[in-house]
Chains A and B, each alone.
Chain A
């Protein structure tokens, strides 16, 4: 009886949230295949037509991809991957230091790292621009990648994770004469796969969704990040090209998912390894 009841509640919660998440997305998906004047025509009054892509057209996707959208997607993925690789390395080492070492000034440094994760980009655009210009990085890949690698939240994420790994493991390795780098590289990093996946997601999405910084710091149309490209392709004169925007929304949500798919397996792997050692 109890079990059935729980099951009902479980499905109820999933359905409610599912409707909340999926209906807007479904509408977006369906409407992206409609000609632009049918989108608002079918939305009210509410009927089955709202969720059927008739009349059907691929115009919005054609417009999107004729505008060089593919290049922007690939470029954003490249920037995202560079950021993830470099970011995982330096933020996890910092998290490791905070979690497993005692050193003078630790608290002050940690608070600084925490504060640094609080600054809103819109507010620091001007000083950041001046700094990047001073480093002669404007209009380069460096302007996009370098400022986004070190990430206070990412450090915090790894710190939280590493704290949970028993110190015994580390002390044992020290006795065996392992170097600190080896302890980090061969023990801690392999154990932290779930944290790495989360941190990768955080870093990748921060680049995938970044908009204002690429807009200000890079001028060339060949280095156009995906959100900037969407703004270009959808804001025409004084109107939003709604059908193209919807197609862009569909495309920009599918690509991170394709990247997350293979990573889902790592969740299970991470679970198995730490399960054995924990």
Chain B
């Protein structure tokens, strides 16, 4: 009964929006846990604070992480007016814009507001959200990758592990060498361990830095409409061959482990080097606190190829406005609130995710003594540097959704032993075919 009542109220409100006093913005999100943590740590409810300040209510609609994209697709294809605001994985910005899922922000922000936004965000976050001078959505969270080290395994193999220092960054060549040695040493002891594990294994988010480091680029043409000659260039071929060798020639990385399970494998002590986002720091800390970890761990910067550039994965979730929304103005108000330095600082402090707002994040890191000690000092020593200097966004293309899926399959096939060059050519052709539907009006 209560549901019915609320529902009819919402109906009435949306029909007579102009005459009602309270506006409710529906917010599609997968971060339910983050909002709870925010409240616990900061002592106030983020969404309630917004209502106190503006009189606009925000009703969150939570989706599970894996299904957010699917739920958004269904609702947007049905031209639903709700959610008004939703979280978008930033490389999808252009895909959503081209298909009419997001309303660019330029019209609703003053020149001054726009410039100050661009000023205080990390450059890569603005880069992925801009298209033809339009800001397609609001950069919100951010991400960066480091290499977690199992120091015990290094010690047993008699190797000095890499340090938490961007100037002492290891090359992939060093990584492979150490991984082989560790694996063989442990084998003599009768234990099977793995030298190297990618946390987001086969996902372009993480694998893309391999060809990027070798000068292969992002795999899509600069205008965002083609892959031929870009996904199958020399850099990509080299990177793919290396990936093949890691899994099939040197066999230093386990097959069949899904990205969702990698953290468990590292925690179980079976992995020497674990390349993963900073978001796993709290998880490892928790295991350590409960006395379950059983090994010494360290953090080192993300590796790169000897003949190439240091490049690191980046970008995360942005906030977008639904163009079918009947409450765009109120939604923009909410976005402005969610980009404010004080709010973002509280988010960063409590939630454990990096944020797109450089100024707010740097300030917290500089002032909070927590960031002087391990493991959080990695933010000071590595993460800030990477985000400002080595972070490389994923390709900006309307077919990112298609590209992501097929490039994942390509890496996965090669991981499982398919020919690296043939696989690249094969998936390049499929992506090129799927790209046709965007090329018409170019």
Contact = CB atoms under 8 A, between A and B. Distances in A.
Interface string B117-158: 000000000000000000000000000000000000000000
B207 to A, nearest CB: 14
Contact of A238 (B61, B192, B199): B199
Contacts of B353: 237
Given A126-B74, A133-B78, A237-B279, A36 B287 contact: yes
A129 B287 contact: no
A228 B71 contact: no
A237 B65 contact: yes
B63 interface: yes
A45 B87 CA distance: 42
Contacts of B59: 219
Interface of B: 3-4, 7, 11, 26, 32-33, 59, 61-67, 70-71, 74-75, 77-78, 80, 82, 192, 199-200, 258-265, 267-270, 277, 279-280, 283, 287, 290, 292-294, 353
B293 A238 contact: no
B305 to A, nearest CB: 25
A10 interface: no
Interface residues of A, number: 37
Contacts, number: 104
Given A215-B63, A232-B32, A239-B263, A37 B268 contact: yes
Interface in A219-246: 219-221, 223, 228, 231-232, 235-240, 242
Interface stretch (A11-19, A136-144, A165-173): A136-144
A216 B65 contact: no
6 contacts: A38-B268, A39-B264, A41-B270, A228-B64, A236-B33, A239-B264
Contact of A38 (B32, B74, B199, B292): B292
A35 B269 CA distance: 14
Interface string A25-38: 00000000001111
A130 interface: yes
Interface of A: 35-41, 44-45, 55, 125-126, 129-130, 133, 136, 138-141, 212, 215-216, 219-221, 223, 228, 231-232, 235-240, 242
Given A219-B26, A219-B59, 7 more contacts: A35-B287, A37-B268, A38-B268, A235-B66, A237-B279, A238-B200, A239-B283
For chain B, what secondary structure do more than half of its interface residues adopt (helix, strand, loop), or is it mixed? helix
Contact of A232 (B64, B82, B268): B64
**Interface residue SS majority, chain A:** helix
Nearest to B266: A37
Contacts of B33: 236
Contact of B64 (A136, A215, A242): A215
Contact of B192 (A44, A219, A240): A44
A35 B261 contact: no
A195 B259 CA distance: 44
B64 A40 contact: no
Contacts of A126: 74, 77-78
Contacts of A38: 268, 292
Given A40-B264, A235-B64, A236-B33, A216 B75 contact: yes
A140 B67 contact: no
Nearest to B63: A215
B71 A215 contact: yes
A139 B5 CA distance: 11
A231 B66 contact: yes
A35 B7 CA distance: 42
Contacts of A36: 264, 267, 287, 292
Given A126-B77, A232-B62, A238 B3 contact: no
A146 to B, nearest CB: 14
B71 A239 contact: no
A111 to B, nearest CB: 29
B289 to A, nearest CB: 12
A238 B260 contact: yes
B148 to A, nearest CB: 13
A38 B75 CA distance: 40
Nearest to A43: B268
